[in-house]
Chains A and B, each alone.
Chain A
Amino acid sequence: MKLELRGITKRFGALVANDSINLTVEAGEIHALLGENGAGKSTLMNVLYGLYRAEEGEILLDDKAAHFAGPGDAMKAGIGMVHQHFMLIPVFTVAENVMLGHEETKAGGRLDLAAARVRVKQISDRFGFAVDPDALIEDLPVGVQQRVEIIKALSQDAKVLVFDEPTAVLTPQETDELMAIMRQLKAAGTSIVFITHKLREVREVADRITVIRLGKVVGEASPTATNEELASLMVGRAVDLTVNKAPATPSEPALVVSGLTVIDPRGQVLVNNVSFTVAAGEILAIAGVQGNGQTELTEALMGLQPRVVGEITLDGKTLRGHSVRQVLDAGVGFVPEDRTEDGLVGGFTIAENLMLDRSHALPFVKRFNLQLALLAEFATAKVKEFDVRSQGIDTPVGRLSGGNQQKVVLARELSRELRLFIAAQPTRGLDVGSIEFVHERIVATRDAGAAVIVISTELDEVAALADRIMVMYRGRIIGIVPGDTPRAVLGLMMAGEPAPNSSAPLPPAPTEGAAA
């Protein structure tokens, strides 16, 4: 089916999220929609899916105008969406999830599960998905959950499939498999809209590329364009994708972690006997697919995890069993993974967020009184130094863009004297321009003599920053390898296969899970 969007304009108050966007997706084509976060990609797709109503413009399906009052209409017209955050109910089976919202019933209102099961089986077999209709969603790996989403869309006879940032949670291998599935769907005549900001994936799979910036279509590109060309289209200027950094000059080991184990309240071992060191003046990147213990490891270092076994020392002094306050006072800076949830108080102003971790003592507090004049001075300086774009230091951070929010977090954490700097997913959801800035700051912190840990699921980021790379898999260290290790080797390590020459401090981790 051919999909055409003509002159779509969507406004939110004064903000024009989509400014007369034209987009044509031919039948059986993979069309990539490339743009920074906040460029208006998702808004456009929500218009297409009937979630938003556009002020101007029209949607044409096979050259016939279509009007969608809601997602139900869009689905009926043959448009399917695979959301970034899966819309699945974890305690339901695959078949139950697929039939959800379109339940077929037998006499007496009993659900016709058998029909749903058959349907899942058919679609699954046709594309070689290998999905068991009776498996519970919560037992399935992320990649398979995503396939269930695809099956869900296809079971509604979707002719146009929209993938919204589908690779954010996948391993490189799973990503490759998804690409293969997309090609298969294309071969079967399905049109695909692929929303992403990852250049590599676009070039690999897309037939045509439309680049959106600030709500406008700024250009079309072919998959043969270089990364640099695409990136400069996206941000509107030339972008240097590599980080300029001198070779590391590591000195004494600053952070020493030995035998660290983290157990969650249900008794699950989330981090399993992990030992490593980070030297002052060195960046250790921790790579791995999300959910393999990296988050819990950083939380344990910060004193945020209640049940921790093993030893953590910074400059010879122990950190284990200390409160967050004590850990911060020991000279640790922390950029949490989820900045809106753990890093910032959304209703607080920029200035207030800048003193969030120093609300207990000098310089911002004198005899219980906040030193507001000093804080304003400090905040003004930091906003300038870190180039936080806002209307002023009294703007609530909840109103800032993701990149500016992250700059506020960085400004706060880097304004103290640091011995150890931990940045978890420091550039997640940021635009290319902000990523550049954040990376420069992280390297500068290293060069100032702090030990730096960067946790990232993006191999590009890991490769750009790391002096050494530590890969985690199922709570264990799979290996610690040099910063220039090839992407293919890292990808395999992230899937649980130790590198041939890695300096793993432990015997190779078990691979029984991967073989299952």
Chain B
Amino acid sequence: MSDTPPQTPPGSATPPAGQAIKPASRRDRPQTDAESRWHGVFREITSGSAIISVLAVVLALLVGAVMIAATNDDVQQSAGYFFSRPSDLLGNVWGAVSGAYSALFQGSIYNFGRDSFAEGITPFTETLVFATPLIAAGLGVALGFRVGLFNIGGRGQMLIAAAIGGWVAFAVDLPYGIHLVAALVAGILGGALWGGIVGLLKARTGAHEVITTIMLNYVAFYLVSYLLREGFLRTPGSNTPKSPASKETAVFPELLGADYNLHLGFILVIAATIFTWWLLSRSNLGFQFRAVGENPNAARVAGISVQRMYVYAMLLSGGLVGLAGINQVLGTTTSGFGATVDSGIGFDAITVALLGRSRPWGVFVAGILFGAFKAGSFSMQAAEGVPIDIVLVVQSLIVLFIAAPPLVRAIFRLPTPGDTPRRPRPIIVTEVAAK
């Protein structure tokens, strides 16, 4: 290379020469670059600080308050004569918001209208019942997040778990105890199977899990619908697409007697949370999971089989979501299930996992919060006429605020983490944008 040779027209530029001189091998792998950028955003959203989660909830409740006030009839009327008597409007706003949120509280934690503690605490046990599947599925999604996988297939995994576990529960005759365990294990394996397919596809072919999980949701839904109508899940002599009731030998026992709905599922979920915590922070498999989730390249160079981790992670993630599915059949709707037995929990689980920052105990707390929203929203509607949708809006706003940490930081004037000079990337981005 004595002098510059660039006069060659681009077409005839000897390709091996041009190729060989390319500066960095990194340039030959543009996908890796895009992949790692996506990884960064993904990590920020799924594992930011807990304070953001708390503030997101606060913000969402504030915005929810505005909407409760705005949709309230009294408030709307008094707004019409705001300038003659502003105190009316303020009074009505306060009345509407405090009424709604107090109903939410009384419907989910403690009902002060009852005489005894045993009756007053009933709403909280309801909260825990609603929280049980949310926590289980949330743990599954969170586990996926920690390995860098976005498991949106909660619905399909729950349905398959409910179908297989449910079949064991209503069609097989086994003694007390053994029957329960058999149905439980069958359900978890069903979820794991449906998740494992995704992991296998990703490991073997590189198929993106977001796409495969969504598609497997459809497959599961129509498969279970078919089985309920014409397959082995059908109730003999009935035309409604609904399974027979689970046998009593398989149903989760009540924890606090017949007055409360709280069942064994909640204990199982506590166990699952402890297991997930151990797995992620104390076991070597969890170590490898996290390494792959944080930096798959470094994990690969350190001898960790990234492919295998994807399969294991999806098996476990699906298994945890499967626990949520079997919980529905053995705990909540034991009188037989339809194709909507998942009742959207597979998707709410994503929210729970995000709010819980993909930390097992964070998910546990977030699951109880969402359980409380669910339990309280009914009494809020009954007592104050506030539509249930408000709660859904609040839940959605929570996710929105979590997905936009800079927004929350700007509102509360928090410092940006990692705002150090040793980060060339943002600089380059600004530079390009400014040109």
Known: A369-B283, A512-B14. A141 touches B19 (CB 8 A): no
A13 at the interface (CB under 8 A from B): yes
Contacts of B418 in A (CB 8 A): 398
Nearest to A343 among chain B residues (CB) is B298
Contacts of B3 in A (CB 8 A): 130
A344 at the interface (CB under 8 A from B): yes
Distance between Cα atoms of A365 and B36 in the complex (Å): 29
Distance between Cα atoms of A449 and B291 in the complex (Å): 32
One digit per residue, 1 when the CB lies within 8 angstroms of any chain B CB and 0 when it does not, for chain A 352-394 equals 1001110110001100111010000000000000000000000
A276 at the interface (CB under 8 A from B): no
Known: A323-B303, A347-B43. A359 touches B284 (CB 8 A): yes
Known: A135-B6, A141-B6. A513 touches B298 (CB 8 A): no
B34 → chain A, closest Cβ, in Å? 14
A173 at the interface (CB under 8 A from B): yes
A189 at the interface (CB under 8 A from B): no
Distance between Cα atoms of A474 and B18 in the complex (Å): 10
Nearest to B30 among chain A residues (CB) is A90
Which of A46, A130, A336, A516 is in CB contact (< 8 Å) with B301? A336
A348 at the interface (CB under 8 A from B): yes
Q: Which of B20-28, B179-187, B328-336 contacts A (4 or more CB under 8 A)?
A: B20-28
B359 at the interface (CB under 8 A from A): no
Contacts of B304 in A (CB 8 A): 325, 356, 359-360
A43 at the interface (CB under 8 A from B): yes
A143 at the interface (CB under 8 A from B): yes
B204 at the interface (CB under 8 A from A): no
Contacts of B28 in A (CB 8 A): 264
- Which residues between 304 and 360 of chain A lie within 8 Å of chain B, taking CB atoms? 304, 323-325, 327-329, 334, 336, 338, 341-348, 352, 355-357, 359-360
Structural contact, A341 and B297, CB atoms closer than 8 A? yes
Structural contact, A140 and B24, CB atoms closer than 8 A? no
Structural contact, B4 and A324, CB atoms closer than 8 A? no
Structural contact, B14 and A87, CB atoms closer than 8 A? no
A482 at the interface (CB under 8 A from B): no
Distance between Cα atoms of A392 and B290 in the complex (Å): 21
Contacts of A302 in B (CB 8 A): 301
Structural contact, B284 and A325, CB atoms closer than 8 A? no
- Which residues between 55 and 106 of chain A lie within 8 Å of chain B, taking CB atoms? 70-72, 85, 87, 90, 93, 100-101
B238 at the interface (CB under 8 A from A): no
Contacts of B428 in A (CB 8 A): 85, 87
Distance between Cα atoms of A365 and B432 in the complex (Å): 47
Distance between Cα atoms of A38 and B27 in the complex (Å): 25
B9 at the interface (CB under 8 A from A): yes
Structural contact, A70 and B434, CB atoms closer than 8 A? yes
A15 at the interface (CB under 8 A from B): yes
Q: Which of B317-325, B342-350, B403-411, B419-427 contacts A (4 or more CB under 8 A)?
A: B419-427
A178 → chain B, closest Cβ, in Å? 11
Distance between Cα atoms of A5 and B434 in the complex (Å): 23
Which of A144, A336, A357, A368 is in CB contact (< 8 Å) with B4? A144
Which of B1, B6, B17, B282 is in CB contact (< 8 Å) with A174? B1
Distance between Cα atoms of A90 and B3 in the complex (Å): 23
A475 at the interface (CB under 8 A from B): yes
A113 → chain B, closest Cβ, in Å? 15
Structural contact, B434 and A13, CB atoms closer than 8 A? no
B287 at the interface (CB under 8 A from A): yes
A173 → chain B, closest Cβ, in Å? 6
Structural contact, B305 and A138, CB atoms closer than 8 A? no
Which of B10, B291, B421 is in CB contact (< 8 Å) with A348? B291
A378 → chain B, closest Cβ, in Å? 15
Structural contact, B288 and A475, CB atoms closer than 8 A? no
Known: A12-B420, A72-B435, A85-B428. A359 touches B288 (CB 8 A): yes
Contacts of B431 in A (CB 8 A): 49, 51, 71, 87
- Which residues between 188 and 245 of chain B lie within 8 Å of chain A, taking CB atoms? none
Interface size class on chain B is 35 or more
Structural contact, A304 and B427, CB atoms closer than 8 A? no
Contacts of A171 in B (CB 8 A): 1
Known: A132-B9, A291-B22. A100 touches B435 (CB 8 A): yes
Contacts of B284 in A (CB 8 A): 359-360, 364-365, 368-370
B285 at the interface (CB under 8 A from A): yes
B77 at the interface (CB under 8 A from A): no
Distance between Cα atoms of A474 and B21 in the complex (Å): 7
Which of B17, B285, B291, B422 is in CB contact (< 8 Å) with A513? B17
Structural contact, A51 and B288, CB atoms closer than 8 A? no
B299 at the interface (CB under 8 A from A): yes
Nearest to B278 among chain A residues (CB) is A369
Q: Which of A203-211, A292-300, A439-447 contacts B (4 or more CB under 8 A)?
A: A292-300
- Which residues between 256 and 287 of chain B lie within 8 Å of chain A, taking CB atoms? 282-285, 287
Structural contact, B25 and A495, CB atoms closer than 8 A? no
A437 at the interface (CB under 8 A from B): no
A54 → chain B, closest Cβ, in Å? 13
Structural contact, A304 and B10, CB atoms closer than 8 A? no
Structural contact, A12 and B294, CB atoms closer than 8 A? no
Contacts of A252 in B (CB 8 A): none
One digit per residue, 1 when the CB lies within 8 angstroms of any chain B CB and 0 when it does not, for chain A 459-501 equals 0000000000000011100000000000000000001100000
Which of A51, A136, A142, A290 is in CB contact (< 8 Å) with B430? A51
Which of A173, A269, A352 is in CB contact (< 8 Å) with B2? A173
Which of A43, A291, A365, A516 is in CB contact (< 8 Å) with B5? A516
Structural contact, A38 and B422, CB atoms closer than 8 A? yes
B113 at the interface (CB under 8 A from A): no
Distance between Cα atoms of A365 and B427 in the complex (Å): 41
Structural contact, B10 and A134, CB atoms closer than 8 A? yes
Structural contact, B9 and A134, CB atoms closer than 8 A? yes
Which of B1, B295, B303 is in CB contact (< 8 Å) with A325? B303
Contacts of A368 in B (CB 8 A): 283-285
Known: A141-B6, A348-B294, A513-B14. A338 touches B26 (CB 8 A): yes
Distance between Cα atoms of A495 and B7 in the complex (Å): 19
Distance between Cα atoms of A491 and B435 in the complex (Å): 38
B300 at the interface (CB under 8 A from A): yes
Structural contact, B287 and A370, CB atoms closer than 8 A? yes
Distance between Cα atoms of A474 and B301 in the complex (Å): 25
A169 at the interface (CB under 8 A from B): yes
Known: A291-B23, A359-B304. A43 touches B8 (CB 8 A): no
Contacts of A355 in B (CB 8 A): 287
Known: A51-B431, A346-B294, A513-B16. A177 touches B4 (CB 8 A): yes
A-B contact pairs, 8 of them (CB 8 A): A15-B420, A100-B435, A131-B4, A324-B302, A370-B287, A473-B20, A474-B21, A514-B1
Chain A positions within 8 Å of B, measured between CB atoms, are: 12-13, 15, 17, 38, 43, 46, 49-51, 70-72, 85, 87, 90, 93, 100-101, 129-132, 134-136, 138-144, 147, 169, 171, 173-174, 177, 264, 268-269, 289-293, 295-296, 302, 304, 323-325, 327-329, 334, 336, 338, 341-348, 352, 355-357, 359-360, 364-365, 368-370, 372, 398, 401, 473-475, 495-496, 512-514, 516
Given A345-B290, A345-B298, A474-B20: 19 more A-B contacts, CB < 8 Å: A13-B420, A43-B421, A71-B434, A130-B4, A136-B10, A142-B23, A143-B1, A143-B4, A147-B4, A290-B24, A341-B298, A342-B298, A342-B301, A346-B294, A356-B291, A356-B302, A359-B284, A370-B284, A474-B16
Top 8 closest A-B pairs, CB basis?
A513-B17, A325-B303, A357-B302, A101-B435, A474-B20, A365-B284, A139-B13, A356-B302
Chain B positions within 8 Å of A, measured between CB atoms, are: 1-10, 13-14, 16-28, 36, 43, 282-285, 287-288, 290-291, 294-295, 297-305, 415, 418-422, 427-428, 430-432, 434-435
